Chains A and B, each alone.
Chain A
Amino acid sequence: MDLTGKRVIAIGERDGIPAPAIAACMRSAGAEVVLMETECFV
């Protein structure tokens, strides 16, 4: 999948993959991150 030029909504979770990690991956693939959310349910 080509992520170049895509605009990404990153929804992470504290004990899974948090949003900043998703965002770093997305940017490295040429995408722009337009929203970052990390959930924590406890």
Chain B
Amino acid sequence: MVAQNGDCFPVVKAVSNVLFHVPGLVRHGSKPSREIAKRPELGDQLAARLRSYDQAVSYPPHQVYIGNLRPEALWNIPRPWQGHALEGLDRRGRFGEIMPEEEFVGLLKAFDEFDLVVLDGGFAADSKARLREHPLVESADIERIGAGASSADLDRILREPGGLALRLRDGGVAGAVRRGHEEDPNLTAELLLENLSVKATAAMALRQVFAQPGACAAADVEYLLGCGEEASGDRYQRGGGSLAKAAGAQAGCTGATGGDLKAYCCAPVHAMAVGGAMVRSGLFQNVVVVGGGSMAKLGMKFQGHLRSGIPVMEDVLAATAIVLGPDDGVNPVLRLDLAGRHPAGASSAPHIMAQHMVQIPLERAGLRISDVDKYALELHDPEVTETAGSGNVPHNNYRILGSLAVVKGEIGREDLSEFERTHGMPGFSPTQGHIAASVPFLGHAREMMLAGEIERAMFVAKGSLFLGQMTQLSDGMSILLERNPRSRD
């Protein structure tokens, strides 16, 4: 599509959405680790209520995330979704897969270049046997996993200061993570595990996206743009970053450099805008946005889930990769002329933010709020949040956006409750921070546009900057995806 100044808008060529079921690692989430330190008996309570891999695979919102079901399908599945395991669907989805912990923990070793991870010999053998069957795992990965350590050696390592044990759902010890430095608070075993998990999940999301038809070749990628919320560095550069490049290097991106864009949960939309602008300007042809999973957010609401009598639901790491390229006349275009942003001088009240992110850019194109077929807002699975007393985040956000349409006279007040059905969707994303912020719908939107089902989808994300205690501000950014006009010919 040709922009006003004559150059072309970029397109979204491929999207991957991947889940990693890690029940044994939930205890390392920020909330669980702090609470268990205060009350060790919580560790046993949590361990007794972890989902099995089959439960995670058959959980409907997970199947939506990996692309086997459209989000709207959830309207017709009665709540609690937890009690409606889907039959006949497996770990593989159109956008990726749901990987079990026996494979993921082995891969942590495959992506470890500093001998931080030590695996139990028996576990390593089992993990390698499984991973040899995985179409995206290479012999180099298997080699790096190696033979693992004997029980005696592993015991010794576990008794070293600063190490932590890597456990599986059944409590068994699969291995250990060492600290990276005696004194450096940024190279503790906990932080290294967190960052290695980002690297591993991001690298697998990249491998998944390159395996999709229409994506570019991994070796042709010139720039990788990370959009996660982790901080990777050491004592002198705590947030040095570039974890996207680290992940890409082990996903075949031999021609790419990269950096990490830090913008809290809003980062994926920032990254799509910046990555898209890189392509549009001619700076690079092949740019990939990538976000790894958040270990810190595992089990955040575990106490609410235990109190509600349900399993701990925040037991998956989620990752995504988005391939951007020049207009090919087929794929949906990113309308960089209609990006919305929340300016620092504006109020952070949600309706004012929605005006800046939605109303103002649409008005530039003479469009109404109701001219966008689908809005992807914060898409957190309500079953995870409601059962812990945090409400239904997408529902609240659709009501705020819908209320703008009411104020503008586009819809009546009596139609406000329907807005989330007509222009929105039920939440389905794991509560993995930046991952849940609008982009879980991107793969679905692309497919729906290629099939001619929808014309326009707007991706609207917010960031809670105030959490870092540096500002009281919030942030927001939006971008419009449109069916490629040339694809109609």
The residues of A with any CB-CB pair to B shorter than 8 Å are 14-21, 24, 36, 38, 40-42
Residues A15 and B466 in contact, CB atoms below 8 Å apart: no
In the complex, what distance in Å separates the CA atom of A24 from the CA atom of B397?
22
> Is B393 an interface residue when CB atoms closer than 8 A count as contact?
yes
Whether A14 touches B385, Cβ cut-off 8 Å, given contacts A38-B466, A42-B378, A42-B433, is: no
The residues of B with any CB-CB pair to A shorter than 8 Å are 265, 301, 347-350, 378, 380, 385, 390-391, 393, 396-397, 400, 431, 433, 436, 462, 464, 466-467, 472-474
Residues A21 and B348 in contact, CB atoms below 8 Å apart: yes
In the complex, what distance in Å separates the CA atom of A40 from the CA atom of B391?
11
In the complex, what distance in Å separates the CA atom of A21 from the CA atom of B431?
26
Would you list 12 pairs from A and B whose C-beta atoms are within 8 A, ordered by A residue? A15-B378, A15-B391, A16-B350, A18-B350, A19-B466, A21-B347, A21-B348, A38-B348, A38-B466, A41-B390, A42-B378, A42-B390
Residues B350 and A38 in contact, CB atoms below 8 Å apart: no
Q: Which residues of A contact B347 (CB under 8 A)?
A: 20-21, 24
Q: Which residues of B contact A19 (CB under 8 A)?
A: 466, 472
Q: Which residues of B contact A14 (CB under 8 A)?
A: 350, 462, 464, 474
Q: Which residues of A contact B464 (CB under 8 A)?
A: 14, 38, 40
Extra A-B contacts (10), CB below 8 Å, given A15-B393, A18-B350, A42-B433: A15-B391, A20-B348, A20-B349, A21-B349, A24-B347, A38-B466, A38-B474, A41-B301, A42-B378, A42-B436
Residues B393 and A42 in contact, CB atoms below 8 Å apart: yes
In the complex, what distance in Å separates the CA atom of A40 from the CA atom of B467?
8
In the complex, what distance in Å separates the CA atom of A19 from the CA atom of B349?
9
The B contact surface, by secondary structure, is mixed
Residues B472 and A38 in contact, CB atoms below 8 Å apart: yes
| Contact of B472 (CB < 8 Å), options: A15, A16, A17, A36 | A36
In the complex, what distance in Å separates the CA atom of A24 from the CA atom of B338?
30
A-B contact count (CB 8 A): 50
Residues B472 and A42 in contact, CB atoms below 8 Å apart: no
Q: Which residues of B contact A15 (CB under 8 A)?
A: 350, 378, 391, 393, 396-397, 400
Residues A42 and B431 in contact, CB atoms below 8 Å apart: yes
In the complex, what distance in Å separates the CA atom of A21 from the CA atom of B472?
11
Q: Which residues of A contact B349 (CB under 8 A)?
A: 17-18, 20-21
Residues A18 and B474 in contact, CB atoms below 8 Å apart: yes
Q: Which residues of B contact A18 (CB under 8 A)?
A: 348-350, 474
Closest B residue to A17 by CB, please name it: B349
Minimum distance in angstroms from B297 CB to a CB of chain A = 8
Closest B residue to A24 by CB, please name it: B347
Residues A42 and B474 in contact, CB atoms below 8 Å apart: no
Q: Which residues of B contact A16 (CB under 8 A)?
A: 350, 396
Minimum distance in angstroms from A38 CB to a CB of chain B = 5
Residues B385 and A41 in contact, CB atoms below 8 Å apart: yes
Closest A residue to B264 by CB, please name it: A40
Q: Which residues of A contact B473 (CB under 8 A)?
A: 20
Which of A15, A16, A21 counts the most chain B CB atoms within 10 A?
A: A15
Closest B residue to A22 by CB, please name it: B349
Query: What 8 A-B pairs have minimum CB-CB distances, sorted nearest first?
Result: A40-B464, A41-B390, A21-B349, A15-B396, A18-B348, A38-B466, A20-B472, A42-B380
Minimum distance in angstroms from B296 CB to a CB of chain A = 12
Minimum distance in angstroms from A16 CB to a CB of chain B = 8
Minimum distance in angstroms from B264 CB to a CB of chain A = 9
Q: Which residues of B contact A42 (CB under 8 A)?
A: 265, 378, 380, 385, 390, 393, 431, 433, 436
Q: Which residues of A contact B301 (CB under 8 A)?
A: 41
Q: Which residues of A contact B350 (CB under 8 A)?
A: 14-16, 18
In the complex, what distance in Å separates the CA atom of A16 from the CA atom of B353?
12
Which of B347, B348, B391, B467 counts the most chain A CB atoms within 10 A?
A: B348
Q: Which residues of B contact A21 (CB under 8 A)?
A: 347-349
Q: Which residues of B contact A20 (CB under 8 A)?
A: 347-349, 472-473
Minimum distance in angstroms from A18 CB to a CB of chain B = 5
Closest B residue to A19 by CB, please name it: B472
In the complex, what distance in Å separates the CA atom of A41 from the CA atom of B393?
10
Minimum distance in angstroms from A19 CB to a CB of chain B = 7
Minimum distance in angstroms from A15 CB to a CB of chain B = 5
Q: Which residues of A contact B391 (CB under 8 A)?
A: 15
Minimum distance in angstroms from A35 CB to a CB of chain B = 11
